[in-house]
């Protein structure tokens, strides 16, 4: 039985009509990773996590971050070994075969689509009051039916604007992304500056009011350290979008590993400092489940200017998350179309080297979700798709270590036979810590994916063999 085709150490053979332009260096990739990781996770999910775990959400952050770091190390090795675009989909295609690759790609489509939609809805929540005040935009067209509105038009608008930026070319969008990331980090530094002097150990007591494992409370809400970790896991991922840039990195064997590991280390430090400042300065019950917990904390500390600055910064910089995931989504779609898993006509690029057709198709899908679907119903599903992809990458790394131990690798995961299994076990534990309703919907999503594979993708995908 033939293995998928692309050479594991180089780009897939392709004509100039579907070759991507190499415009990204490692600073662009680190900025892309930080832009994707530092977003709704710390700006909003810290409130949701505090509601589920209390001050022990610090432990939830550590668990989720540790699993993500193990996954990031596996990603870094695979990205520096198989330098074609497509992230976990391409690695699975080369190592595990077409059907597994399709299911992983199907999970990535779910992850990226829902993250883009979720962040655009979150952005709209910050932007709607400003749009209403400054331009008189009616609230009815700035919220979906679940919130008493008609459709979330601002969420669609921000997706369209970011897509237009991407279509100008990856180099220009990456430079703009670096600027927005710098603004975002300055606002978070301001939060720490004002919050940390108010640190009080009494705010951390009781430290773990809801226990460790997921359990159903009297109010019907699933709580516990692991229940929080399974949700705020999305606060850390985003580095995987870097792995989709294999064909656009100037020096992929070096730059991808630096971008992935560098962005994870930077964000782990940022999250630890901000979470300590938030939980130490204000009791978790005050900002639990707030849509803007950090701004709320600053207002409670009598810092209205800093709170306003943070809120405005969120409006200006959350698009960096949309940019990174829209980029990743369009590249996964692009590679799957180029392989025949999706219609090949979508795998065309413009003269600037941008995949125009697939970007337009992606915007259509995520725009519809953002217009009508509520934020709380999509975050957990995005995590499910991500956990499948992370598990697959760790499995691929271990299999290649056995199958081709001498294969040139730009980066080698340290303690691979410890890191790899820990990443797999951690992802599976987090998966089963997700809400039961989420797992049911994820099962349905995968059944639909299997049906599409046998009806279309299996017959039309390219048949290659690894050299």
Q: How many CA atoms lie within 13 A of 204 on its CB side?
A: 14
Q: Which residues contact 241 (CB under 8 A, 6 or more apart)?
A: 32, 33, 36, 87, 112, 324, 325, 327, 328
Q: Confidence class of residue 244 from pLDDT cuts 50, 70 and 90? A: low
Residue 172 has pLDDT above 60, yes or no: no
CA gap 170, 162 in Å, rounded: 12
Q: How many CB atoms lie under 10 A from the CB of residue 134?
A: 8
CA gap 351, 17 in Å, rounded: 9
CA gap 433, 226 in Å, rounded: 6
Scored b (16 or more CB within 10 A) or e, 327-358 reads: bbbbbbbbbbbbbbbbebebbebeeebbbbbb
pTM of the model: 0.74
pLDDT at 392: 93
Could you tell me the two tokens for 332? 């996964």
Q: Are 420 and 402 in contact (CB under 8 A)?
A: no
pLDDT single digits (tens) 102-121: 998 888 888 777 878 878 87
Residue 19 has pLDDT above 60, yes or no: no
> Which DSSP category does 137 fall into?
-
Q: Confidence class of residue 169 from pLDDT cuts 50, 70 and 90? A: low
pLDDT at 4: 43
**In-domain check, residue 209:** yes
Q: Confidence class of residue 352 from pLDDT cuts 50, 70 and 90? A: low
pLDDT single digits (tens) 259-301: 777 777 777 788 888 888 989 888 888 888 776 788 888 888 8
Cα-Cα-Cα-Cα dihedral of 118, 22, 342, 37, to 10°?
A: -20
**Angle (CA) 80 400 76, round 5°:** 25
**In-domain check, residue 466:** no
Q: Confidence class of residue 398 from pLDDT cuts 50, 70 and 90? A: very high
Counting the structural domains of the chain, the total is: 1
* Residue 339 CA: distances (Å) to CA of 21, 45, 260, 383, 464: 19, 36, 25, 26, 10
Q: Minimal CA–CA distance to 425: which of 384, 391, 396, 397?
A: 391
**Residue 295 sits in a domain of what CATH number?**
1.20.1740.10
State whether residue 82 is helix, strand or coil: coil
**In-domain check, residue 351:** yes
Residue 423 has pLDDT above 90, yes or no: yes
**In-domain check, residue 462:** no
Q: Confidence class of residue 308 from pLDDT cuts 50, 70 and 90? A: confident
Helix ranges (DSSP H) in 136-251: 153-167, 170-195, 225-232, 240-243
**In-domain check, residue 11:** no
**Angle (CA) 200 205 211, round 5°:** 145
Residue 400 has pLDDT above 90, yes or no: yes
Q: Confidence class of residue 394 from pLDDT cuts 50, 70 and 90? A: very high
Residue 152 has pLDDT above 60, yes or no: yes
**In-domain check, residue 3:** no
Q: List the domain range (segments joined by +) for residue 132.
A: 19-456
**In-domain check, residue 241:** yes
**In-domain check, residue 296:** yes
In this structure, what are the phi and psi dihedrals at residue 24, rounded to the nearest 5 degrees?
-110, 135
State whether residue 114 is helix, strand or coil: helix
């Amino acid at each position: 039985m033939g293995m998928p085709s692309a050479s594991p150490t180089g780009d897939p053979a392709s004509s100039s009509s579907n070759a991507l332009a190499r415009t990204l260096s490692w600073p662009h990739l680190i900025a892309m990773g930080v832009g994707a990781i530092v977003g709704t996770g710390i700006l909003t999910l810290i409130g949701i996590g505090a509601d589920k775990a209390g001050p022990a959400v610090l432990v939830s952050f550590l668990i989720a971050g540790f699993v993500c770091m193990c996954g990031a190390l596996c990603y870094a090795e695979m990205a520096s070994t198989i330098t074609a675009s497509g992230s976990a989909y391409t690695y699975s295609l080369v190592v595990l075969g077409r059907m597994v690759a399709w299911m992983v790609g199907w999970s990535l489509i779910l992850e990226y689509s829902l993250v883009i939609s979720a962040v655009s809805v979150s952005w709209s929540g910050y932007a709607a009051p400003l749009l209403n005040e400054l331009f008189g935009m009616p609230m009815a067209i700035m919220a979906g039916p679940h919130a008493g509105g008609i459709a979330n038009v601002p969420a669609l608008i921000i997706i369209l604007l970011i897509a237009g930026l991407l279509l100008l070319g990856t180099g220009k969008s990456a430079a703009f992304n670096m600027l927005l990331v710098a603004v975002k980090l300055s606002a978070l530094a301001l939060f720490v500056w004002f919050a940390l002097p108010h640190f009080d150990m009494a705010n951390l007591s009781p430290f773990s009011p809801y226990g460790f494992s997921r359990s159903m409370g009297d109010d019907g809400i699933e709580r516990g350290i692991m229940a929080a970790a399974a949700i705020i896991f999305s606060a850390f991922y985003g580095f995987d979008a870097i792995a989709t840039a294999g064909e656009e990195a100037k020096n992929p064997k070096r730059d991808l590993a630096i971008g992935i590991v560098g962005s994870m280390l930077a964000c782990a430090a940022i999250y630890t400092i901000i979470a300590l400042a938030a939980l130490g300065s204000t009791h978790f019950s005050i900002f639990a489940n707030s849509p803007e917990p950090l701004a709320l904390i600053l207002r409670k500390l009598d810092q209205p200017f800093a709170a306003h600055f943070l809120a405005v910064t969120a409006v200006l910089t959350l698009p960096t998350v949309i940019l990174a995931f829209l980029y990743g989504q369009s590249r996964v779609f692009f590679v799957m179309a180029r392989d025949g898993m999706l219609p090949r006509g979508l795998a065309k690029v413009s003269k600037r080297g941008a995949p125009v057709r697939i970007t337009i198709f992606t915007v259509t899908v995520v725009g519809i979700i953002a217009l009508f679907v509520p934020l709380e119903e999509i975050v957990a599903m995005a995590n499910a798709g991500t956990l499948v992809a992370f598990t697959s990458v760790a499995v691929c790394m271990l299999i290649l270590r056995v199958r081709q131990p001498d294969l040139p690798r730009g980066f080698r995961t340290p303690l691979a036979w410890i890191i790899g299994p820990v990443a797999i076990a951690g992802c599976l534990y987090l998966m089963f810590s997700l809400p039961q309703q989420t797992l049911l919907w994820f099962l349905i999503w995968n059944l639909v994916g299997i049906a599409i594979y046998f009806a279309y993708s299996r017959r039309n995908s390219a048949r290659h063999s690894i050299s």
